[in-house]
Structure 1
Amino acid sequence: MLDGPNFMLMAVLVVLLVLLLTKAGFSQSNDRDDNKNVPIAVFCGTNAVISVPNFIKNRNSTYNDLRMQILSQRVLYARAQALSAGDSVFAAAQCRNYLSVDQCVACFDAGVSELVNCTSGNGASVSFDNCFLRYEDFADFYNNPYVSEDANITPNVLCGDQSASQPTVFNQVVDGFLSDLKDATPKTSNFFVASKRQIAGGNATVYVTAQCIANINQATCQTCMDRAYDKLNDCLPNREGRFSDLGCFARYSDTPFFNDNQTMDITKVLKGHSSKSAIIGAAVGGVVLIFLILLSWFLYRSWKKSKKTEQAKFEGAIHYNYKDLQLATDNFSEENILGKGGFGEVFKAVLEDNNVVAVKKLLVQHARAKEEFENEVRLISNVHHRNLLRLLGWSIEESCLLLVLEYMPNGSLDRFLWGSKRGTLNWNQRYEIIFGIARGLAHLHDEFHVKIVHRDIKSSNILLSDDFKPKIADLGWQGFNLRTKPMLAPSLPGYTAPEYALHGVLSEKVDTYSFGIVVLEIISGRRSTDVGSDAQSTYYLLENTWKLYEKKIHIMVIDETLNLNRHEQEHVTKIIEIALLCTQSPASNRPTMSEVVLMLQEGQSLGKRQLTRPTFVTIKIGGFI
């Protein structure tokens, strides 16, 4: 016999199960009239056919099958095949989940019309705002859209031609929204998100949607969404942008393209709650609430009786078992050391699932080190940005504190400026690195819910991905290290703002100063503290640059390994002026990092600002004088 509470729980579970197993209809139509079926991308393949008439017959057969599935089964995703006489055709079609079935069919028909002339080869695809249609002579793309046959197909990005009226605020809101979209879409049960978000200080609203191709796995969806996030950010501050790829579609706009009642709260998805769909969520919301309350009570009671899990998630960061990390680094062997610094050593680690990560080993002897460490993990694990190194997990073993971080195959930026890879970065790559660092700092200062001052921006703390995208490392741990090792000097001589180095005055403008120094290093290929032997290089980098600027010959700062044309030289001189602006004193004369992003993005230089001579800090071994 079931007692009262258990009987109630079983009843709720039965009701919930019935509702979830009931197939959702699509009567909730998107009645907006601004969704026109205009092609975003069309691709005609070149795979030779045996017989054109037979190929066309098979293709038309799959078209009819797909259309019939959508109409009769009331679905928004279908696939079909026709295999006769050697000219096999495998096809798939998918519509956005905010469409009605009739709207889906209309988009499908538009796709068929677009591909009617693709007869020179077997294989074609077309993408719209509302749907996609694709056929091939192989079936692999059903579950993996990025098969080897697609190596020559590149993503398509369309940016609007109108800039937002409040570009700074718009950039901040949309960048954060797209970042959430990127993380949330692969976590939903149907790889689909439609959501909206208000822009503070105005009446504007941003609408976003993303959808991965059905039947692919979560990792493939995440890879595609990461690419979409990177590309759509290049559209900002334009009011709309679209990304279309073989694996996914994403779009943002300040004009609504789905109804308000079709949105979902992606914050719940990001916190780990799966989402069936907005329609089902609304239908069973009340029942789910009761279920979750009862389930939470039972789980809490079970938790009280069980041991603490070794893989417990800690606000997005995983608690790793120390012995597992010890094994993954071969007992923290010298062969696996990636680098050493003021915070400890960093090791390359290969986990049991063959994922490669970096493990940072922090050695501290402080009574409150563990508590301080956990506070930092709580904060930093919530920071997600394309230009900030991701904290994946953590571990504590007595006095040994471990961080599990993204692994960056290209290592640190300084290797490419004056290390073993010197001279291998062209100007476009250097500019993208400068721009990425600025965006990462702007996120820390102005976009995250807590203002974070990094304190230790330097070239060795800028890591590069395999495609040379920059990520700022050591986020938050400079402050932790200062608290656990009070005698540690702030940052590295040459990068530190005068007010912080000499008087300990800390603000986000300290990072702006350090950013300016790093920019000069990227442009010149010189360390900030290097002193050259020729007559024009007897000063440290900042002072030398300023003296050349006074003579209007700061073009001479440019790295000799760069072979620039006249247009590129003009661009670099503007960036040098922005770097000098970032090093102005007092700190109030420096721009915010959000302002720097706009200046870099729009090709601006100083505008009405006037440069004044920076405060030069004389450096000696062991500190400042």
Structure 2
Amino acid sequence: MAVLVLLLVLLMVNPGISQSNNSENDVNTPIRSFCGRNRPIVPSNFINNRNSTFTAIRRQLSNNNVFYARAQSLLEGDSVFGVTQCRNYLSTSQCMACFDAGVSRLLSCITGNGAYVFFDNCFVRYENYDDFYDDPNVVEDAGITPLQICGNQSTSHQPTTMFREVVDGLLLDIKDATPKTSNFYVASTRQITSGNAMVYSIAQCVENTSQTVCQTCLNTIYTYLYNCLPNTEGRSINMGCFARYSETPFFNDNQTIDITSFLKGQALIWLFQLLLFHILAVPQSIIWHSSKVSIIAGAIGGTVGLLFILIVLWFLLRLRKKSKKSEEGNCVTVYSPDLKGAINYNYKDLQLATNNFSEKNILGKGGFGEVFKAILDDNNTVAVKKIEVAHAKAKEEFENEVKLVSNVHHRNLLRLLGWSSEGSHLLLVLEYMPNGSLDKFLWGAKRGTLNWKQRYDIILGIAKGLAHLHDEFHVKIVHRDIKSSNILLDDDLQPKIADFGLARFQPEDQSHISTKFAGTLGYTAPEYALRGLLSDKVDTYSFGIVILEIISGQRCTDTNSDRPSMDYLLEHAWKLYENKKHIKFIDETLDVNQSQEEHVMHIIEIALLCTQSPVSKRPTMSEVRLMLSTGQSLGKIQLTRPTLIDQDRRIQIGSSNKAISLGKVSGMPKELEANEQLHGEKAYEKVDVMEKGMNVATTLL
């Protein structure tokens, strides 16, 4: 064994001398590495097996034209399975030098039984399991996301759009060709201008994987590479593939691979795409990256193919003429059966309009992503909501919001203008509200700037929007997340309800539906949070809480005020109402006269009516709208104490002298105590569920 260790030390010396003119290939700087966290059972056995595996791999790489090698050592437990792959433009000595650099880097990983390191020229990886041989994405220690590395210099070629188009075309070609090659490797060049300027690019998948895995991997990292443009170079690494482009040569001109045969039928595809774009004006986002278009056009050829195209285009043209009659304005849109009424925007156009989703353009952050200000080509300003697909519920929220709201139009509902869904990029294009969200005016930077009339108009506008969702649209929609931060204000400070990602249909023949809790803690009705009973009255409850926030200028979960330390907003409002002192509930920054005071107190009573339990005591939003707009009195309606939270944060139901205490929810994580606006789906997943006739999903912070 000592001989093996000595041999390994000797092998660490870099023996390679470049046989290529590209000196860059002799530089092996790690660009991604990882040491596993699962400790070996017997470290000495693990180290011996790892050394044996490295030795066997290096022996294979010493043979000419061997760029992929794997080995394993299973002696005395603590098995080690290893694999290495070099880029095919390297010489044998360069490949071995890269491998040696990787081994040297990984020798320090002795606390875990798996590790990897990536260079431009190769990667080295070992694990204590062999699943990753055939599927490199199998990672047992931790989830690995693709890595994007862009150069820090923009191209000098003008216009940059030409550079972007040329490189993008090259990247698309190698992305499509690489999985079709026998060794999953392509190196190609493309001329930038009429001169001699060139761009160099390669793509490579792990050789032992499948064509499907390779294609999926390259589809993912292509997007990352495209985001590097118009920089002079870019790299993207995933566990199963690697791609790179650069204006600086990193392989020889005679090392390129002719990919023409792998792109057979591409010319016909381009013709088909051009006809679709210029004759039918189909948006580019549907055409240029559509696999269906490629499959159709690639499957046909010659005279028969051309005839087929002409027939299809004639048919589509007739359909387009018919659809034009129903289009509004001069904007060309493409509709999907499931996404009616929304424009399909091109991702790249939205990326440009948001200045590559710059932090300077951020308008706000939601449960599943960020919202950016964007200026489109027609100088219209919109808001672009970028959904984070890392969350399991992200795509569901995206599809839900588009399908539910694309046909809903009301002056108090934020209009969905369009969407974009390209690969992992999910974007919603929404109306831009220059005044931002209501909460900024209540306790944010604009606190105290709203007078009573403006606050009342906002309350009435929200009620009108909810009444439309519940009673005036052809189906009943429950928003599920009504809160001040989801109320946006236009130029005239008129409210628009936003963020329909959690919205749900409620069948007309059902008083409620049973579902998992989703919403924002503090605004959620007790029957929904406790038993998962969802109805339009859940929105009514949340609306009542928002009214109290608008009148008081305080958060519903804020305890840092003049009221008792553990009295949340609803309880504070109720105690003042009980003692006929609810005039003290009015925001101290609000200057109201005597007649306005009476009006405010009337609205407080409506808010408390909206928060009544049981559900049958709450009015519908149409009734609330009527009470607000006409000044209708509550009449003989007797208000009872709403569901409250006492000083021990115990959930109470019923009147103060007959409260049923359910006790504090056990196992409540600290992040729930610290974040009163944690997104509902996440809250449900993190809170222990107690089932004793009801599901306790939150303590209603």
Normalised TM-score (structure 1) = 0.48
Higher Cα radius of gyration: 2
Higher RCO by CA contacts (8 Å cutoff, separation 6 or greater) = 1
